[in-house]
Structure 1
Amino acid sequence: MKPTFSRFLLPLAATFFLLGGAQAQALKVGASAGVHADTMEAAAREARKQGLDVKVIEFTDWTTPNTALQAGDLDLNYFQHQAFLDNAIKERGYKFAVAGVGVLPNIGLFSHRIKKFEELKDGAKVAVASDPVNQGRGLSLLEKAGLIKLREGAGLRGSVNDIVANPRKLKFVEVEGPQLVRAIDDVDLAQGIPAHFVSAGKPQVASSGLLYTGVADRLFAIRFVTRQDNVNDPRVKKFVKVFQESKAVRDEISRLFGGDARLYSLPWLNQ
């Protein structure tokens, strides 16, 4: 009996070793610096309490998180909404899949120089996002404010080239999304994401927008994105579940949005 026992013991021990090694491997999550990375850190702390090790990697641009995911340097990223993701897949051919839905941030129109749109002078400088998807969202908000008119059918996909009426001869400055928070100091009006102002230590600015988008637009909720061949990874599913169900994470989200519930929503609760 002893030889038989030892013959099966070694493979069994090896199996446990391999499983333990797989479980010990940290889930690598990429997020844009600021509110998204801070939210992921909160979720990572909760995940560790449940035995899932998570490493959060911050990025300062909106290109590298996808290239890093495609290269296998990340298991998951959290920085983009569905429209941005669709555009990235179309342009780069990424084999990505959505593993879950995160926070829906509002965007707004902000200014240090005017208190209402009527005060905007002819030829004023207006900052909008340089990437095509977020630029369309900002221009749609400017159209809602009555400042411009877009080509019929442009909608949220519109660009500065789709402006067909600009009665105040506004001058548009295209700025990379993460830098819009700084642009407000150099222009008369700027598209912005309130959470970025909170992250920059300016919660009062986040809550002082002249106009906001609605908080029910699920298309612009931040997505958990992974590769198609990794979407069923149990670690990915567990992390998304921790994020969506943890009270500590929701409390951190509220803090990161300056405690202002007008500036975000949790769309997975209304599925």
Structure 2
Amino acid sequence: MLKTVLARPVAAIALTLGLFGAAQANEAPLKVGTTAAFAPPLEAAVSEARKQGLKVELIEFSDWIAPNVSLANGDIDVNYYQHVPFLENAKHAAGFDLVPYAPGIINNVGLYSKRYKSLDELPEGASVAIANDPINSGRGLQLLAKAGLITLKPGVGYKATEDDIVANPKKLKILQVEAVQLVRAYDDADLVQGYPHYIRLANTFDANSALLFDGLDHKEYVIQFVIKPQSKDDPRLARFIDIYQHSPVVHSALDKAYGKLYQPGWER
């Protein structure tokens, strides 16, 4: 018997070990990183995945930097909290080798005011709080331009900065605030760029009460499931995305979390 074991071809032993290793890898949970605003529907998807025999671990981060750092370091398998412009800016700034894998939802962003009922009521010198990161501040400036409150240089799009403002007839004072803190600026600024999903989490005012929404036609703002390129053939990813996009339970969780202020970025 000893001779038989020793005589087994090395290739056969390697194949056996490889299959054993593959089985172990398949049993490892898929680690998904996200932020609080996107967690509830993902939790529903994790629960549905568990019923189908797919292990998924949801990891929630408190800022917009750590999810990409964690993904680049291999601590998680995929993250879900950013659109392509944000990802491209992060890659340029930090050299991440990360790519979008599949689309999630697109959320509306609005202009909110505690003091005024319409944009026409805004006085000269009114304070306006927008996001302070390069991409979401550009979205805020685009929204102010849509409102007719400022004029931007033609063609700047989501890369707009305050230097691209060519007209500001009301002499608005633009304040830049961390995006996740904008909901707190509602009490202090005259006008605030607001994210309905964060407003719902804070539960301090009505997320539907924006004086203007930016609309859902900016497909570049679809939130993406983001991975490292070498993970593109991971079957766990394909299964989990399919559950997120097509499970009626997840659809209900999305409706509960975002109301009518979102649209799927995929074909249902």
Tell me the TM-score normalized by structure 1: 0.90
Deviation string 1:219-261 (CA, Å, 9 cap, x unpaired) is 101000000111221111111111111111110000001x3x2
Query: Which residue of the partner structure matches residue 27 of structure 2?
Result: 24
Query: Which residue of the partner structure matches residue 141 of structure 1?
Result: 143
Query: What SS does the corresponding residue of 1:268 show, helix, strand or coil?
Result: coil
Aligned mates of 2:242, 2:48 — CA distance in 1: 11
After superposition, where does 1:191-206 map in structure 2 within 5 Å? 191-202=193-204, 205-206=206-207
Deviation at 1:117, TM superposition (A): 0.7
Aligned mates of 1:191, 1:88 — CA distance in 2: 21
AA aligned to 1:111 is S
Aligned mates of 1:4, 1:243 — CA distance in 2: 50
Query: What SS does the corresponding residue of 1:139 show, helix, strand or coil?
Result: helix
Deviation at 1:28, TM superposition (A): 0.9
Deviation string 1:11-66 (CA, Å, 9 cap, x unpaired) is 698666534422221111110113x1222211111111111111111111111111
Counting matched residue pairs gives: 264
AA aligned to 2:247 is S
Aligned mates of 2:232, 2:265 — CA distance in 1: 20
Aligned mates of 1:85, 1:16 — CA distance in 2: 35
Query: Which residue of the partner structure matches residue 248 of structure 2?
Result: 247
Aligned mates of 1:243, 1:4 — CA distance in 2: 50
Query: Which residue of the partner structure matches residue 208 of structure 1?
Result: 209
Checking the alignment, whether the CA contact within 8 Å between 1:104 and 1:264 is kept in structure 2 is: yes
AA aligned to 1:237 is A
Query: Which residue of the partner structure matches residue 62 of structure 1?
Result: 64
Aligned mates of 1:116, 1:191 — CA distance in 2: 14
After superposition, where does 1:89-238 map in structure 2 within 5 Å? 89-202=91-204, 205-238=206-239
Query: Which residue of the partner structure matches residue 46 of structure 1?
Result: 48
AA aligned to 1:146 is G
Structure 1 residue runs of 5 or longer lacking an equivalent are none
Runs of 4+ in 1 over 4 A off after TM superposition: 10-17
Deviation at 1:141, TM superposition (A): 0.9
Structure 2 residue runs of 5 or longer lacking an equivalent are none
Query: Which residue of the partner structure matches residue 256 of structure 1?
Result: 257
Q: Identity over aligned residues, as a percent?
A: 44
Query: What SS does the corresponding residue of 1:206 show, helix, strand or coil?
Result: coil
Aligned mates of 2:95, 2:19 — CA distance in 1: 38
| Aligned partner of 1:83 among 71, 79, 85 | 85
* RMSD, matched Cα: 2.3
Deviation at 1:113, TM superposition (A): 0.8
Aligned mates of 1:16, 1:162 — CA distance in 2: 57
Query: What SS does the corresponding residue of 1:181 show, helix, strand or coil?
Result: helix
Aligned mates of 1:136, 1:13 — CA distance in 2: 54
Checking the alignment, whether the CA contact within 8 Å between 1:100 and 1:225 is kept in structure 2 is: yes
Checking the alignment, whether the CA contact within 8 Å between 1:128 and 1:135 is kept in structure 2 is: yes
